[in-house]
Structure 1
Amino acid sequence: MSDMLLTAYNGAILGPIAKVLGWVMNGIYALMSMIGIENVGLSIIIFTIVIYAILFPLTYKQQKFSKLSQKMQPELQAIQKKYNGKKDQASMMAMQEETQAVYEKYGVSMMGSCVQMLIQMPLLFALYRVFLNVPAYVSGVKNNFSTLVDGIMATSGYQDKMTQLVTDLRVMTTPAADFTVSDPTALSNSIVDVLYKMNSAGWENLKSAFPSLTDTINATYDTVSHVNNFLGLNISDTPWQVMTTNFASHNFLFVVLALLVPVISYLTQVLNIKLMPQAAPSNGNSDNDMAAQQMKMMNRTMPIFSFVMCFTVPVGLGIYWIAGAVVRSVQQFFLNKHFEKINLEDIIKKNQEKAKKKREKMGIAENQISNAAKINTRKIDEPKKEEKKSNMSEAQRELELEKANAAKSKAKAGSMAAKANMVRDFNEKNSRK
């Protein structure tokens, strides 16, 4: 198993994740082989379904947050409007506290779906690495090349011939094929990487480079073509290669099949975006308007990017993109139906209870939060009162004093105001003496 992983992606973060996913992919291919089905394209589809099924709990949490965000948006926008243009520390603190209070009210974190995205993205990128170099992770596929690789390595000067083939065919492997190393296992893996990435025309070049191995090359090509065949297409070929070679030989059916890969990829991406929850209106908030425009632009460009890229990447990757978009669309359809039926108020209450219990575990009681909020509010309000007093003119102060004296003169006998008047009269008489 260890030598199988020598040509696997060795990135510090994605490398270990890709190896784990590779074991899963290898297991799926082995199970299918046991029932007589050896097909990489079908394995990719099943593997994609399995991975998205595993990620579904994260997807559900992300979608639930999106729904709650839509419900919170009017309140958050009201707070933003209230403090729009205020850059002083007191206003910024008040805005932050009020925003936090809204999130606590709905029982969600301000980080939102970021955690889910941080978990999902490395998995999906690592999945891409597995599909980019299947033999490095799936031993059943790699074993199909064993006899041919042994024959190539037994041929004198094979390193130079393989290097020339890589240059002529412009074969790109990850990591780059290296025929100068002394380790036989590493050399064998480099040859497998090149053979797997070669298109149909490249195998003819291989026979020219190794004429003594023609029968072995033909047998290996037939086996690999069967394993890599998906609806008549070799998943190692790019749609553009299939279209150009078959158009020249007037095999227009294969031209149409190859063209369908980028077209279906584009359509499934569009469908997936259409089913995704849309952002709530921003009500004139410029930051939200900019974010909405950026999201709208991304939604337009991503399907186009998928369409263009599918012409130049192997059909296998196109199948992965299509399968992923279809699975996400199916998930999203049922999630939309689910969230239409559920009562968000119940979810909010449950989230509030969870948040309350979490705070209690941390030793934060509800009355502490309430008192802290009152103290912060008083700190914010006190400077405003002082500022109001300092801005009052001398005439305004005299008028306020006159009003106060008039009110006191009308005080009822025995009241606190009447007693205050008596003290004031006594002080005035003593001051005149």
Structure 2
Amino acid sequence: MMTIFNFFGSILGYLLWFLYTIFKNYGVAIILFTIIVKAMMFPFSIKSQKSMAAQSRLANKQKELQTRYANDKMKYNEELQKLYEKEGVNPGGGCLMTLLPFPIMLGIYYSVIYPLSNTLHIAKETIAQATDFVSKIPGIASTNQYVELEIVKNFSVLKDHLTMFSAEDIEKIEFFGKGFKFLGLDLLATPNASSFASMMWIIPVLALVTYWGQTFIMQKLQPQQQQSGGGCMKVMLYGMPLLSAYWAFIMPGAVGFYWIISAVVGFVQSIVTHKYFSPEQVSAHSEASRYVTLLEADQKIKPLPANLQKQIADKIEAKNQAQQNRINAQQAKKTATKKSGGAQKNKGTTSDYLGSRK
């Protein structure tokens, strides 16, 4: 799993390095990187919005199935799956945007903690020699996963001893190490290892506040979708903010800073999405699209020839007429039977009366 996220971090590192070379500040690079990634993920957001709106639309039908098959869970699941297939709804679509930020954040994490490998893309053999040398320095454990960060942070002191780097590598590392100061914060430092005066503690606090605020506002804007989201929404409201704050506390400041910017950009994206892709609009558009699809399907059907249409219509009319004639005949027979029975009853009564009189 580490290899996968490290590979993903290496790919993201190219974009971060490109943005860094232009603006020469890692904080600015992360802001622009987040906006670009969010823009790329926007179609997934719309798809998730449509899926959640569709689930909200099917809530009443789902309740009917729950009532009908309350004692048969297997049958309920089968019918529910049929309902999803019929309506074209993906029940897991609403959770997509909940899970999708994880690989991106982990990619950022690996690009930050392994800057020589994933951002500067220096040769692996050279990095192995450098980290092996630095790991032997007292105070830096051999198992420390932040060895590459230590090299960048302390490169001015270690440069004379790290002879394995080429002149080009040295130039890139020095250039890269100068851009991690953003608004007075050192994005290479970790909040849990920094003093209170460094203000690094503000990163996990903002990570908690911004992410929780984003989720809370989304629930206010889209209450029906949040209810249909079920467990996914509870994870987003309670679990994700706490998890992001904890990671921002133990990871380098650049990771927590990315999480903050991601939450802020996500909040703006949610406002835009709600304005132009609200549940009502999505449902109306879905119904309109469905009607158009059915109409187009009907238009593609070639009508039968006029003479054949007339033959079928005549047969149907004859069948209906014959059926009506049978109904009329049965009603007439019932009426005649009732009249005959009444006459016989009256005749018997008169005879009895006359006989008694004699």
| CA displacement at 1:269 relative to structure 2 | 0.8
The match for 1:29 is 20
1:237 aligns with one of 185, 189, 192: 189
Unaligned residue ranges in structure 2 (runs of 5+): 299-329, 338-358
| CA displacement at 1:274 relative to structure 2 | 1.0
Task: State the Cα RMSD in Å.
Answer: 4.8
- Once superposed, which parts of structure 1, at least 4 consecutive aligned residues long, lie more than 6 Å away? 202-205, 219-222, 357-360
| CA displacement at 1:318 relative to structure 2 | 0.9
Contact kept in structure 2, 1:237 and 1:314, CA below 8 Å: yes
- Kindly, what percent of the aligned residue pairs are identical? 21
| CA displacement at 1:164 relative to structure 2 | 1.6
Unaligned residue ranges in structure 1 (runs of 5+): 1-8, 144-148, 174-192, 361-410, 419-433
Q: Supply the distance in 1 between the matched residues of 2:158 and 2:57 (Cα, whole angstroms).
A: 62
* TM-score between both structures, scaled by the size of structure 2: 0.64
Q: Supply the distance in 2 between the matched residues of 1:417 and 1:116 (Cα, whole angstroms).
A: 73
Contact kept in structure 2, 1:132 and 1:317, CA below 8 Å: no
1:269 aligns with one of 211, 216, 234: 211
Superposition pairs for residues 370-409 of structure 1, below 5 Å? none
Amino acid aligned to 2:262: G
The match for 2:321 is none
Superposition pairs for residues 19-418 of structure 1, below 5 Å? 19-30=10-21, 32=22, 37-86=23-72, 96-97=81-82, 99-100=83-84, 104=87, 108-111=88-91, 113=93, 117=97, 122-123=103-104, 125-139=106-120, 161-165=133-137, 168-169=140-141, 172-173=144-145, 194-197=147-150, 206=158, 210=161, 224-243=176-195, 252=197, 254=198, 257-277=199-219, 280=224, 292=230, 295-296=233-234, 299-340=237-278, 343-353=281-291, 414=333
Q: Supply the distance in 1 between the matched residues of 2:32 and 2:254 (Cα, whole angstroms).
A: 13
Render the CA deviation track for 1:27-68: whole Å, top value 9, x for unaligned: 3233x1xxxx31222212211111111111111221232233
Contact kept in structure 1, 2:207 and 2:245, CA below 8 Å: yes
SS at match of 1:85: coil
Amino acid aligned to 1:22: G
The match for 1:186 is none
Contact kept in structure 1, 2:51 and 2:89, CA below 8 Å: no
Q: 1:353 to 1:417 in 2, by over 3 A?
A: farther
* More moved, 58-67 vs 221-230: 221-230
Q: Supply the distance in 2 between the matched residues of 1:159 and 1:19 (Cα, whole angstroms).
A: 18
Q: Supply the distance in 1 between the matched residues of 2:149 and 2:91 (Cα, whole angstroms).
A: 43
SS at match of 1:55: helix
Q: Supply the distance in 2 between the matched residues of 1:26 and 1:238 (Cα, whole angstroms).
A: 21
Larger Rg: 2
| CA displacement at 1:320 relative to structure 2 | 1.0
* More moved, 228-237 vs 111-120: 111-120
Q: 1:415 to 1:280 in 2, by over 3 A?
A: same
* TM-score between both structures, scaled by the size of structure 1: 0.54
Contact kept in structure 1, 2:140 and 2:147, CA below 8 Å: no
* More moved, 341-350 vs 55-64: 341-350
Render the CA deviation track for 1:387-425: whole Å, top value 9, x for unaligned: xxxxxxxxxxxxxxxxxxxxxxxx75535997xxxxxxx
Contact kept in structure 2, 1:279 and 1:292, CA below 8 Å: no
Q: 1:414 to 1:358 in 2, by over 3 A?
A: closer
